[in-house]
Amino acid sequence: MATQHLTIKELTEAAGGQVTPRMVRHYHQLGLLPLPQRSTANYRLYTQQDVQRLRRIVALKQQGFQLSHIGQLLETDAETDANQTLMIQLQRQYQTVMQQMARLRQTATALEGLLGRDRHCLTTQAEALAQLKRLEADAQSGCGELEQLWLSLDAETATHPETFQESLQRLLPDLSHYSEITVHLLHHLVLACGDVSLVNFVRLSDGAIAAARDALKSGCAIVTDVAMVAAALDRTRLAHLNCSVETLIANPHVTAVDEAEQAFWDDALVQERLAQIPVGSVLAIGYAPSVLLAACQLIEQRQIQPALVIGMPIGFSHAPAAKRQLMRLPTPYITIEGTIGGGLLAAVALNALIETLLEKPDCHCYLTRL
Protein backbone atom coordinates (compact mmCIF):
# COMPACT_ATOMS: atom_id res chain seq x y z
CA MET A 1 0.00 0.00 0.00
CA ALA A 2 1.45 3.33 -1.10
CA THR A 3 2.13 5.96 1.54
CA GLN A 4 -0.38 8.80 1.44
CA HIS A 5 1.47 12.08 1.07
CA LEU A 6 0.37 15.53 2.21
CA THR A 7 1.12 18.93 0.84
CA ILE A 8 2.60 21.56 3.17
CA LYS A 9 -0.84 23.15 3.51
CA GLU A 10 -2.42 19.81 4.41
CA LEU A 11 0.42 19.21 6.89
CA THR A 12 -0.23 22.48 8.74
CA GLU A 13 -3.98 21.85 8.84
CA ALA A 14 -3.44 18.36 10.24
CA ALA A 15 -0.99 19.60 12.87
CA GLY A 16 -3.27 22.40 14.10
CA GLY A 17 -2.04 24.87 16.68
CA GLN A 18 -2.06 27.75 14.13
CA VAL A 19 0.97 26.35 12.33
CA THR A 20 1.84 28.12 9.09
CA PRO A 21 3.86 26.93 6.06
CA ARG A 22 6.44 29.61 6.90
CA MET A 23 6.92 28.05 10.36
CA VAL A 24 7.35 24.60 8.78
CA ARG A 25 10.06 25.91 6.47
CA HIS A 26 11.77 27.51 9.47
CA TYR A 27 11.68 24.17 11.32
CA HIS A 28 13.35 22.57 8.28
CA GLN A 29 16.15 25.14 8.46
CA LEU A 30 16.68 24.41 12.16
CA GLY A 31 16.68 20.66 11.60
CA LEU A 32 13.56 20.10 13.74
CA LEU A 33 11.71 18.61 10.78
CA PRO A 34 13.46 16.37 8.24
CA LEU A 35 13.48 17.59 4.69
CA PRO A 36 10.55 16.00 2.81
CA GLN A 37 10.42 14.20 -0.48
CA ARG A 38 9.63 16.21 -3.58
CA SER A 39 7.01 15.49 -6.20
CA THR A 40 7.76 15.56 -9.90
CA ALA A 41 6.38 19.11 -9.84
CA ASN A 42 8.84 19.93 -6.98
CA TYR A 43 6.12 20.15 -4.28
CA ARG A 44 7.02 19.09 -0.76
CA LEU A 45 5.42 15.77 0.19
CA TYR A 46 4.81 14.93 3.88
CA THR A 47 3.73 11.78 5.75
CA GLN A 48 1.78 11.08 8.93
CA GLN A 49 5.12 10.74 10.75
CA ASP A 50 5.81 14.36 9.85
CA VAL A 51 2.39 15.32 11.21
CA GLN A 52 3.12 13.60 14.54
CA ARG A 53 6.57 15.20 14.78
CA LEU A 54 5.17 18.64 13.99
CA ARG A 55 2.43 18.21 16.58
CA ARG A 56 5.07 17.36 19.18
CA ILE A 57 7.07 20.46 18.26
CA VAL A 58 3.95 22.61 18.62
CA ALA A 59 3.03 21.03 21.96
CA LEU A 60 6.52 21.55 23.40
CA LYS A 61 6.62 25.11 22.11
CA GLN A 62 3.27 25.87 23.75
CA GLN A 63 4.75 24.63 27.04
CA GLY A 64 7.42 27.32 26.76
CA PHE A 65 10.38 25.24 25.53
CA GLN A 66 12.99 26.98 23.43
CA LEU A 67 13.46 25.59 19.92
CA SER A 68 16.99 24.50 20.81
CA HIS A 69 15.62 22.44 23.72
CA ILE A 70 12.93 20.98 21.48
CA GLY A 71 15.63 19.82 19.10
CA GLN A 72 17.38 17.95 21.92
CA LEU A 73 14.14 16.28 22.93
CA LEU A 74 13.35 15.17 19.40
CA GLU A 75 16.78 13.58 19.03
CA THR A 76 15.97 10.90 21.62
CA ASP A 77 14.47 7.77 20.10
CA ALA A 78 14.19 5.22 22.92
CA GLU A 79 10.98 5.62 24.92
CA THR A 80 12.64 5.23 28.33
CA ASP A 81 15.42 7.63 27.39
CA ALA A 82 12.85 10.02 25.93
CA ASN A 83 10.88 10.06 29.16
CA GLN A 84 14.01 10.63 31.23
CA THR A 85 15.21 13.36 28.89
CA LEU A 86 11.79 14.98 28.93
CA MET A 87 11.73 15.05 32.73
CA ILE A 88 15.19 16.65 32.81
CA GLN A 89 14.11 19.25 30.28
CA LEU A 90 10.91 19.91 32.20
CA GLN A 91 12.92 20.46 35.37
CA ARG A 92 15.23 22.85 33.57
CA GLN A 93 12.28 24.68 32.06
CA TYR A 94 10.63 24.92 35.47
CA GLN A 95 13.79 26.37 37.03
CA THR A 96 14.04 28.89 34.18
CA VAL A 97 10.43 29.94 34.68
CA MET A 98 10.92 30.22 38.44
CA GLN A 99 13.98 32.44 37.91
CA GLN A 100 11.95 34.63 35.58
CA MET A 101 9.17 34.80 38.16
CA ALA A 102 11.67 35.72 40.87
CA ARG A 103 12.99 38.59 38.76
CA LEU A 104 9.46 39.75 38.01
CA ARG A 105 8.57 39.41 41.69
CA GLN A 106 11.51 41.66 42.57
CA THR A 107 10.32 44.24 40.05
CA ALA A 108 6.75 43.94 41.32
CA THR A 109 7.97 44.39 44.90
CA ALA A 110 9.78 47.56 43.92
CA LEU A 111 6.66 48.88 42.18
CA GLU A 112 4.52 47.93 45.17
CA GLY A 113 6.93 49.82 47.37
CA LEU A 114 6.24 52.90 45.28
CA LEU A 115 2.60 52.58 44.25
CA GLY A 116 1.47 51.06 47.54
CA ARG A 117 2.52 54.06 49.59
CA ASP A 118 -0.36 55.92 51.20
CA ARG A 119 -0.73 59.68 51.02
CA HIS A 120 1.43 60.16 54.13
CA CYS A 121 4.34 58.28 52.58
CA LEU A 122 3.94 59.28 48.95
CA THR A 123 6.30 62.07 47.91
CA THR A 124 5.78 64.48 45.02
CA GLN A 125 4.80 63.23 41.60
CA ALA A 126 8.13 64.35 40.17
CA GLU A 127 10.03 62.21 42.70
CA ALA A 128 7.77 59.25 41.97
CA LEU A 129 8.54 59.52 38.26
CA ALA A 130 12.22 59.76 39.09
CA GLN A 131 11.86 56.55 41.10
CA LEU A 132 10.38 54.74 38.11
CA LYS A 133 13.17 55.91 35.83
CA ARG A 134 15.76 54.83 38.37
CA LEU A 135 13.98 51.48 38.69
CA GLU A 136 14.40 50.93 34.95
CA ALA A 137 18.07 51.87 35.09
CA ASP A 138 18.64 49.65 38.11
CA ALA A 139 17.00 46.68 36.39
CA GLN A 140 19.31 47.11 33.41
CA SER A 141 22.57 47.67 35.26
CA GLY A 142 22.00 45.58 38.38
CA CYS A 143 23.88 48.13 40.47
CA GLY A 144 21.31 48.24 43.27
CA GLU A 145 21.15 52.04 43.21
CA LEU A 146 17.52 51.98 44.30
CA GLU A 147 18.57 51.11 47.84
CA GLN A 148 19.59 54.68 48.66
CA LEU A 149 16.35 56.04 47.23
CA TRP A 150 14.28 53.67 49.36
CA LEU A 151 16.05 54.81 52.50
CA SER A 152 14.58 58.31 52.31
CA LEU A 153 11.11 57.07 51.50
CA ASP A 154 11.16 54.29 54.10
CA ALA A 155 11.94 56.80 56.83
CA GLU A 156 8.33 58.00 56.56
CA THR A 157 6.93 54.57 57.45
CA ALA A 158 7.83 54.99 61.13
CA THR A 159 5.66 58.07 61.57
CA HIS A 160 2.16 56.56 61.25
CA PRO A 161 0.25 53.27 60.82
CA GLU A 162 -0.15 51.91 57.32
CA THR A 163 -3.49 52.41 55.58
CA PHE A 164 -3.91 49.11 53.78
CA GLN A 165 -7.13 49.84 51.92
CA GLU A 166 -5.66 52.96 50.35
CA SER A 167 -2.67 50.99 49.12
CA LEU A 168 -4.87 48.20 47.76
CA GLN A 169 -6.83 50.67 45.66
CA ARG A 170 -3.66 51.44 43.70
CA LEU A 171 -2.37 47.90 43.44
CA LEU A 172 -5.40 45.72 42.80
CA PRO A 173 -6.85 45.26 39.30
CA ASP A 174 -10.28 46.66 38.48
CA LEU A 175 -12.81 44.88 40.73
CA SER A 176 -15.84 46.95 39.75
CA HIS A 177 -17.49 43.91 38.20
CA TYR A 178 -17.54 42.19 41.63
CA SER A 179 -20.10 42.80 44.36
CA GLU A 180 -19.14 44.74 47.48
CA ILE A 181 -19.10 41.56 49.57
CA THR A 182 -16.89 39.73 47.06
CA VAL A 183 -14.45 42.65 46.99
CA HIS A 184 -14.33 42.55 50.81
CA LEU A 185 -13.49 38.83 50.62
CA LEU A 186 -10.75 39.38 48.03
CA HIS A 187 -9.22 42.20 50.07
CA HIS A 188 -9.00 39.96 53.14
CA LEU A 189 -7.39 37.12 51.18
CA VAL A 190 -4.77 39.47 49.74
CA LEU A 191 -3.98 40.95 53.15
CA ALA A 192 -3.72 37.45 54.65
CA CYS A 193 -0.94 36.39 52.28
CA GLY A 194 0.54 39.73 51.22
CA ASP A 195 0.32 38.82 47.53
CA VAL A 196 -1.83 41.10 45.35
CA SER A 197 -1.58 38.67 42.42
CA LEU A 198 -3.69 36.17 44.39
CA VAL A 199 -6.81 37.94 43.11
CA ASN A 200 -6.14 36.50 39.66
CA PHE A 201 -6.43 32.94 40.97
CA VAL A 202 -9.44 33.15 43.32
CA ARG A 203 -12.49 31.42 41.87
CA LEU A 204 -16.06 31.70 43.16
CA SER A 205 -19.07 29.93 41.70
CA ASP A 206 -22.03 32.14 40.78
CA GLY A 207 -24.05 31.28 43.87
CA ALA A 208 -21.20 30.98 46.38
CA ILE A 209 -21.86 34.18 48.34
CA ALA A 210 -25.61 33.66 48.48
CA ALA A 211 -25.20 30.02 49.53
CA ALA A 212 -22.73 30.97 52.26
CA ARG A 213 -24.99 33.67 53.72
CA ASP A 214 -28.08 31.46 53.65
CA ALA A 215 -26.23 28.59 55.32
CA LEU A 216 -24.69 30.80 58.01
CA LYS A 217 -28.04 32.46 58.74
CA SER A 218 -29.56 29.05 59.34
CA GLY A 219 -26.89 28.15 61.91
CA CYS A 220 -25.17 25.55 59.75
CA ALA A 221 -22.32 23.31 60.85
CA ILE A 222 -18.81 24.35 59.87
CA VAL A 223 -16.64 21.35 59.02
CA THR A 224 -12.86 21.78 58.68
CA ASP A 225 -10.24 19.26 57.66
CA VAL A 226 -7.79 19.95 60.52
CA ALA A 227 -7.85 21.58 63.93
CA MET A 228 -5.58 24.44 62.84
CA VAL A 229 -8.20 25.68 60.37
CA ALA A 230 -10.88 25.47 63.06
CA ALA A 231 -8.63 27.37 65.49
CA ALA A 232 -8.39 30.31 63.07
CA LEU A 233 -12.16 30.73 62.74
CA ASP A 234 -14.02 33.61 64.38
CA ARG A 235 -15.70 31.59 67.12
CA THR A 236 -17.40 34.65 68.69
CA ARG A 237 -19.27 35.54 65.53
CA LEU A 238 -19.99 31.87 64.78
CA ALA A 239 -21.51 31.48 68.25
CA HIS A 240 -23.71 34.50 67.55
CA LEU A 241 -24.95 32.72 64.43
CA ASN A 242 -25.42 29.44 66.36
CA CYS A 243 -22.98 27.69 64.02
CA SER A 244 -21.11 24.69 65.39
CA VAL A 245 -17.56 23.77 64.35
CA GLU A 246 -16.52 20.19 63.62
CA THR A 247 -13.10 18.85 62.59
CA LEU A 248 -12.51 15.76 60.48
CA ILE A 249 -8.90 15.21 61.60
CA ALA A 250 -9.26 16.06 65.26
CA ASN A 251 -5.73 15.12 66.28
CA PRO A 252 -4.17 18.42 67.53
CA HIS A 253 -0.69 17.08 66.78
CA VAL A 254 -1.41 17.10 63.04
CA THR A 255 0.10 20.47 62.15
CA ALA A 256 1.62 19.95 58.71
CA VAL A 257 0.15 19.32 55.27
CA ASP A 258 1.86 15.96 54.79
CA GLU A 259 0.67 14.84 58.23
CA ALA A 260 -2.91 15.81 57.43
CA GLU A 261 -2.77 14.02 54.10
CA GLN A 262 -1.42 10.83 55.62
CA ALA A 263 -3.85 10.99 58.56
CA PHE A 264 -6.79 11.04 56.17
CA TRP A 265 -5.52 7.93 54.36
CA ASP A 266 -4.60 6.05 57.53
CA ASP A 267 -7.73 6.69 59.58
CA ALA A 268 -10.95 5.14 58.25
CA LEU A 269 -12.88 7.03 60.94
CA VAL A 270 -11.89 10.33 59.38
CA GLN A 271 -13.21 9.17 56.02
CA GLU A 272 -16.45 8.08 57.70
CA ARG A 273 -16.81 11.51 59.32
CA LEU A 274 -16.48 13.14 55.90
CA ALA A 275 -19.20 10.90 54.47
CA GLN A 276 -21.51 11.91 57.33
CA ILE A 277 -21.17 15.69 57.36
CA PRO A 278 -24.56 17.40 57.86
CA VAL A 279 -26.62 18.50 54.88
CA GLY A 280 -26.24 22.21 54.26
CA SER A 281 -22.92 22.51 56.10
CA VAL A 282 -19.96 24.66 55.07
CA LEU A 283 -16.90 22.50 54.33
CA ALA A 284 -13.60 24.41 54.75
CA ILE A 285 -10.52 22.48 53.57
CA GLY A 286 -7.16 24.18 53.90
CA TYR A 287 -4.60 21.40 54.25
CA ALA A 288 -5.21 17.91 52.83
CA PRO A 289 -5.95 17.70 49.08
CA SER A 290 -7.19 14.11 49.44
CA VAL A 291 -9.97 15.35 51.71
CA LEU A 292 -11.16 17.66 48.93
CA LEU A 293 -10.82 14.91 46.32
CA ALA A 294 -12.88 12.54 48.49
CA ALA A 295 -15.44 15.25 49.19
CA CYS A 296 -15.86 15.93 45.47
CA GLN A 297 -16.42 12.23 44.84
CA LEU A 298 -19.01 12.03 47.61
CA ILE A 299 -20.78 15.11 46.25
CA GLU A 300 -20.81 13.62 42.76
CA GLN A 301 -22.31 10.42 44.19
CA ARG A 302 -24.83 12.53 46.16
CA GLN A 303 -23.73 11.06 49.46
CA ILE A 304 -23.06 14.49 50.97
CA GLN A 305 -24.72 17.84 50.21
CA PRO A 306 -22.75 20.76 51.63
CA ALA A 307 -24.10 24.26 51.09
CA LEU A 308 -20.64 25.57 50.27
CA VAL A 309 -17.14 24.15 49.83
CA ILE A 310 -14.15 26.38 50.58
CA GLY A 311 -11.47 24.26 48.90
CA MET A 312 -7.97 25.65 49.47
CA PRO A 313 -5.68 22.67 50.18
CA ILE A 314 -1.95 22.82 49.53
CA GLY A 315 -0.21 20.45 47.15
CA PHE A 316 1.62 20.24 43.85
CA SER A 317 -0.38 17.56 42.02
CA HIS A 318 -3.39 16.44 44.05
CA ALA A 319 -4.44 19.94 45.17
CA PRO A 320 -4.71 21.49 41.67
CA ALA A 321 -6.55 18.37 40.47
CA ALA A 322 -8.95 18.48 43.43
CA LYS A 323 -9.70 22.16 42.81
CA ARG A 324 -10.39 21.53 39.13
CA GLN A 325 -12.75 18.72 40.10
CA LEU A 326 -14.49 21.01 42.60
CA MET A 327 -15.03 23.68 39.96
CA ARG A 328 -16.77 21.15 37.71
CA LEU A 329 -19.38 20.35 40.35
CA PRO A 330 -22.73 22.18 40.75
CA THR A 331 -22.07 22.73 44.48
CA PRO A 332 -21.23 26.36 45.36
CA TYR A 333 -17.50 26.81 45.96
CA ILE A 334 -14.70 29.23 46.72
CA THR A 335 -11.20 28.08 45.73
CA ILE A 336 -7.79 29.25 44.56
CA GLU A 337 -6.49 27.74 41.35
CA GLY A 338 -3.20 25.89 41.32
CA THR A 339 -0.98 25.03 44.26
CA ILE A 340 -1.72 28.17 46.30
CA GLY A 341 -3.79 27.66 49.42
CA GLY A 342 -3.53 26.94 53.10
CA GLY A 343 -5.53 26.74 56.29
CA LEU A 344 -5.16 30.44 57.02
CA LEU A 345 -6.63 31.44 53.66
CA ALA A 346 -9.53 29.01 54.07
CA ALA A 347 -10.29 30.42 57.53
CA VAL A 348 -9.88 34.02 56.34
CA ALA A 349 -12.36 33.43 53.51
CA LEU A 350 -14.98 32.07 55.88
CA ASN A 351 -14.34 34.78 58.48
CA ALA A 352 -14.77 37.48 55.82
CA LEU A 353 -18.14 36.00 54.82
CA ILE A 354 -19.23 35.85 58.47
CA GLU A 355 -18.16 39.45 59.04
CA THR A 356 -20.10 40.89 56.11
CA LEU A 357 -23.17 38.82 57.01
CA LEU A 358 -23.33 40.32 60.50
CA GLU A 359 -22.33 43.84 59.53
CA LYS A 360 -24.44 44.00 56.36
CA PRO A 361 -27.27 41.49 56.85
CA ASP A 362 -29.58 43.26 54.40
CA CYS A 363 -27.05 43.71 51.60
CA HIS A 364 -28.12 42.05 48.37
CA CYS A 365 -25.43 43.35 46.01
CA TYR A 366 -24.07 39.84 45.51
CA LEU A 367 -27.34 38.79 43.84
CA THR A 368 -26.83 41.20 40.94
CA ARG A 369 -24.38 40.63 38.13
CA LEU A 370 -22.32 43.78 37.58
Least confident of 55-59, 197-201, 309-313: 55-59
pLDDT higher for 170 or 293? Answer: 293
Residue ending a domain, choose from 128, 145, 167: 167
Q: Are strands 37-38 and 308-311 parallel, antiparallel or unpaired?
A: unpaired
Is pLDDT above 90 for 190?
yes
pLDDT winner (highest mean) among 56-60, 126-130, 136-140, 190-194: 190-194
Is pLDDT above 60 for 128?
no
Same domain, 40 and 163: no
Same domain, 87 and 179: no
Note whether residue 3 is domain-resident.
no
Same domain, 156 and 180: no
Task: Say if pTM beats, i.e. exceeds, 0.75.
Answer: no
Number of domain units in the chain: 3
Same domain, 210 and 232: yes
Residue ending a domain, choose from 142, 167, 192: 167
Note whether residue 228 is domain-resident.
yes
Same domain, 214 and 340: yes
Q: Which amino acid is at 198?
A: L
Least confident of 76-80, 223-227, 281-285, 289-293: 76-80
26 is catalytic: no
Same domain, 143 and 237: no
Same domain, 191 and 291: yes
Same domain, 116 and 219: no
Note the pLDDT tens digit of each residue in 225-275: 999 999 999 999 999 999 999 999 999 899 899 999 999 999 999 999 999
Is pLDDT above 80 for 329?
yes
Same domain, 158 and 34: no
Q: What is the pLDDT of residue 1?
A: 43
Q: What is the pLDDT of residue 202?
A: 96
Q: What is the pLDDT of residue 118?
A: 65
Note the pLDDT tens digit of each residue in 80-98: 455 677 777 778 877 887 7
Proportion of the chain above pLDDT 90, given as a percent: 48
Is pLDDT above 90 for 182?
yes
pLDDT band at 181 (very low <50, low <70, confident <90, very high): very high
Is pLDDT above 70 for 148?
no
Catalytic residue among 69, 120, 160, 187: 187
Name the residue range of residue 293's domain.
Answer: 172-367
Q: What is the pLDDT of residue 168?
A: 84
pLDDT higher for 332 or 154? Answer: 332
What's the CATH number where 348 sits? 3.40.50.10230
Q: What is the pLDDT of residue 124?
A: 45
Is pLDDT above 90 for 169?
no
pLDDT higher for 304 or 93? Answer: 304
Cβ–Cβ under 8 Å, residues 337 and 311: no
Q: What value does the mean pLDDT take over residues 140-165? A: 67
